[in-house]
A = this chain, B = another copy of it.
């Protein structure tokens, strides 16, 4: 690691390096982006439907979700984001937000103007490609959730989500053994998978009593990975992870 790296954006470097090694120049350019750092509390919106952002939000620590409100207090969460993600990268090319982005837990973020990002990408096309690629993986995750909501029952959906979160967090070094820290509630999971909170509760209990997972105090532990994977019909190909300790 070169000496003139600004450490604030390391999670981002780490994330992009899950695709290919960045050159020292690229690392430098990336970490020297003009960033406005902020700590945000849990459950705070970052951008909302209808907004026309002029900056993107780099998630450095914490947990973010994207969601859409539908009538009658119901809502659908469309994605979860972890350190290294840029949850609203799409605002670089789509002027109007069609969904909300908000924290799920206390989070540390960095705001970068579209202008700076565009300049970075213009000067370092490989970084642009990596960002594009990242939005494509985002879309791949959407597709998997669609398959789940369309054609899998609640057991498979929940097991699949747990598998996905675990693999994604392990990839960027956020797993400790078979455990990950997730600030999710059963209600949150319900809103993500198109289920009711009550039903999520029953299924989670089943997964627990079948010995597949432990989940207490925001810590999720995968106790039986092969079976959980089978129950969730989880095939990590769609995440296009390069390392693969799996």
Contacts and interface: CB of A to CB of B under 8 A. Distances in A.
A171 B74 CA distance: 31
Given A150-B149, A233-B71, A135 B135 contact: yes
Main secondary structure of the interface of A (DSSP, over half): helix
A241 to B, nearest CB: 11
B149 A146 contact: yes
A159 interface: no
B152 A70 contact: yes
Contacts of A70: 147, 151-152, 233
Contacts of A138: 139
A87 to B, nearest CB: 12
B240 A151 contact: no
Contacts of A95: 240
Interface stretch (A39-47, A125-133, A177-185, A218-226): A125-133
Interface residues of A, number: 41
B194 A151 contact: yes
A202 to B, nearest CB: 18
Given A151-B74, A151-B75, A94 B146 contact: no
A35 interface: no
B150 A93 contact: no
A98 B143 contact: yes
A83 interface: no
Interface in A106-163: 122, 125, 129, 132-133, 135-140, 142-143, 145-147, 149-152
A70 to B, nearest CB: 5
Given A70-B233, A71-B233, A125-B122, A76 B142 contact: no
A147 to B, nearest CB: 4
Interface string A175-219: 000000000000000010110000000000000000000000000
23 contacts: A68-B143, A68-B147, A70-B147, A71-B233, A74-B151, A78-B143, A78-B146, A90-B140, A93-B129, A93-B136, A94-B133, A94-B136, A98-B143, A98-B238, A98-B240, A122-B125, A135-B135, A135-B136, A139-B139, A139-B142, A142-B146, A146-B194, A150-B193
Interface of A: 68, 70-71, 74-76, 78, 90, 93-96, 98-99, 122, 125, 129, 132-133, 135-140, 142-143, 145-147, 149-152, 191, 193-194, 233, 237-238, 240
